[in-house]
Structure formats: C-alpha cells, structure tokens
Amino acid sequence: MPEPADLERRTTELLQRLIRFNTVNPPGDEQEAQEHLRGLLEVAGFECELLSAVEGRPNLIARMGGASDGPALCLLGHVDTVLADPADWTLDPWSGEIRDGCVWGRGALDMKSQVAAEVAAAVALAGEGWRPQSGELKIVVTADEEAGAEHGARWLCERHPEKVRADLVVNEGAGEVIDYAGRRLYGVCVAEKGVFRFTLTTSGRAGHASIPRIGDNALTKLAPVLDALSGGRVVLERTVEGDALLAGLHVDSEDLEAALAEVEREDPRVAVLLEPMLGVTLTPTMVSASEKINVIPAQARLKVDCRVPPGLGSEHALGRIHGAIPGDGYEIEFGETVVGNRSPIDTPLMESIRSFVGREDEGAGVAAVMLPGFSDSRWFREAFPECVAYGFFPQKAMDLFEAAPLVHGADERVPISDLGLAARFYAGLIEETLR
C-alpha cells in the first residue's frame, strides 16, 4: 500500500490539474483532460485507449490484466461538469486553488475528485511494482455524464461492451458521512431511481385577454395541479434501500409513516433525503401557455420531473400521477423515460467497504442508499446484469449536509483530508480484490 501522505498529495495535485481543464457540458471539451489522464496511466503501465462517439469528446479506458482469471474491477468516473458563473463564486471556479484545507473549483465534488483519487491510487500502486495477481483492473473515465451519457457511458456500454465489461464497478453517488442520533453512517449507493418526465396539458378556448370571460383559460386550470404537487410529499411505499437505510438509522420501518415522522422529529435534514427513497416524486419545473400577453391560452403545458423507484415503469408512474392530481381534465405525455435499477446489498464489495469504514472511523457503520437521480452506474447494470455497481466516495471531514448544496452550486470544494481518505480506499480495494 502506498504511503497515505503520498496518496493524498498525488490526489490533491491531480484534482487541481483536472479542475483547470474547463469541461463544462455542453460543450464538454473533455479531450485535453482525458489525454492528460491517459499520459499518467500509460507511464504507470496501463494499456489505454480513447474512444469517441463525437470528435473532441473521448472516453478513456485504461486496463491492467493479471496473471490468472479473476474479477474485473472497474473504477468509473466522468470529467465533464455543469456550468459555473464566476460572479457567484468566492474563488475562480477553474483555479483549483487550495484554501481552508480544501481544493476549490467546479468538479471538486462532482466528480473530478473521485477521478483523481481513483487514478492516483492506481498509478501509485503500479509505480511501486504492483500488478494484479488475478483478474483485471479497469479505469474508465467518461465524457457527457452531465447531459445524459449519450456520448459517454451509455454509448460505451451499447457500442463497446467488451471493452468496459466488469464484475465490480465503483462510481459516484454516495460516501459522505451522515450524523444521526449519535450514529455515524456512510452511505453506499446501490440503486438509482428511474426518470419518467412528462408533460401535462390542459385545454380551453382562446380569446382576447381584455375580456376574461370570453375565453376558457387553459393556464388557470393548472392551478389545482400545481397546488396538488406543492410540498414535494410522496405516497410512501416500501423499497429495499429505504428499509436498509432505516435499519442503519435504527428506526423501525414496519410503519413507514411513523418511521418517516420519527426521522423528521430527530433530524429534518435526514428526512428530506430519506423521503425520495420511499416512493415516486413529482416535481413541477416548467410552464408554458400563451405566446402573447393579450391572448387567453387555449392550451397550457406543465413539465414535471418524475422519479420512480428501481424496476418500476410507466404504469406505476401513471398510477401515482393520477392519484396525486385531482380530476381528469388534462392529458399526460411521457418524454424521457429510463427505468431505474439496483445492485444487491449483501456482497463482498459491501463487506470491503464496511471493513474500510470500520478501520478509518471506529464505531461508524455503512448503509445502503438509493440515489434520487441516476448516474453512469445504471448503464453498467443494464449492460451487465451480473455486475455489482456501487457509488462510494468516502468523506469524513465534510458530511452529507455540507457537501450536498455544493454539488452543482457555487464555491464547490472538497477537503484535502477526504481526498486522501478516498485514495486509501481505492488503493486498498484494488489490492484486496485483485490479489
């Protein structure tokens, strides 16, 4: 195992360099960042290739095989980021500056930090002469995750499955510590919800806005719909991951209403994160109606971001939609639909994570969680049904409630000590899995 101080230094320096590549998606422009990573990995002895669905936006695949058969371990990440407005930031979002013990910049949490820790761990091990005794190590760094992975992980899994096939995948999605009722839990993302975005349309009759009752205003018919969807509450339903998190919190899950109420009383912040794991969420986000201010709209459209527990499809979503929205004077049309998926919880990979947490944070535990959105892990689970794909980037210095608002937000940053913690985890997992 490389020295902890060396791992922390390598990861910090690499993250700073990655942040300085402006990879805001769109347009992405991941080429330079990927070539930099390829250079580091090739020098360390990895076989590398860049595969591009579109010019200038390559995906990096680095491989190092063992002497005998064994599992394929894939450390997965992406280098594209969301946008950043420098006017909203304390520091330049592409500076990678160190301040207050943290590396600042867009991607510091999502997710150039994890890419840096994964690559630094692999390069440090290889530099000491380590090679897999069995199986294969793959470092896969994708483009286009922030825009749906059409040119990234989805494309790789559909067009080049033989190159990225893996038995174990470690990606983003969880790992920050949760403090609750005197317990410390590290989340492990084992599942991701599906996306069933839809447009709800109401109809009426156009007319001149100066005579309000001459028409039938379709826009005002959205009022009861918006009222019904306000508050963000869900119809609670049992999920494997919801039960697992409640068990980790030591909350009786037999009655979900009572369980959520107990968590709400103890720590409302945890309840806000728990509730989406327990059902379908319906979040109105966009409205359109008349194109002229003096015309009563004959149609009004409301776009709703709908997230559904893993394995459930449009029929289940429709049932929850009609149950939540009063009346029937509207039409529903689904746009983007992606069924969520999950990996099993009780696996050797989970035991490896649990052992690591026990060594690094005595008395702390781990809990399976469900990501309310979805990440590149879902494409790997879909392409390789036997694959176990988890999201885990351990963070001890910055807890979940501090980190979550910074993801896609201003002043995104990550503690240097957490970079070292994560790099130690990846280095240890590589050695343990491929021995």
CA distance 319 to 156: 34
Q: Which residues have CB under 8 Å from 326's CB, separation 6+?
A: 224, 225, 228
Q: Which residues have CB under 8 Å from 350's CB, separation 6+?
A: 188, 190, 366, 368, 390
Nearest CA to 95 out of 110, 78, 108 is that of 108
Nearest CA to 414 out of 107, 188, 185 is that of 107
User: E-strand spans in 56-182?
Assistant: 58-65, 68-78, 98-99, 102-104, 134-142, 168-171, 177-180
- Six-digit token pair at 220? 């005002």
Nearest CA to 51 out of 43, 63, 65 is that of 63
Contact call for residues 302 and 225 (beta carbons, < 8 A): yes
Active-site residue among 145, 146, 192, 412?
Answer: 145
- Six-digit token pair at 395? 């963070």
Active-site residue among 8, 30, 80, 241?
Answer: 80
Could you tell me how many helices (H) and strands (E) the chain has, helices first?
A: 14, 19
Q: 254: left (phi > 0), else alpha (psi -120 to 50), else beta?
A: alpha
**386 part of the active site:** no
**What are the DSSP calls for 189-250, one per residue?**
EEEE-EEEEEEEEEE-B-EETTSGGGSB-TTGGGHHHHHHHTT--------HHHHHHHHHTT
**80 part of the active site:** yes
Helix (H, G, I), strand (E, B) or coil at 416: helix
Nearest CA to 340 out of 303, 386, 367, 372 is that of 372
> Which residues carry out catalysis?
80, 145
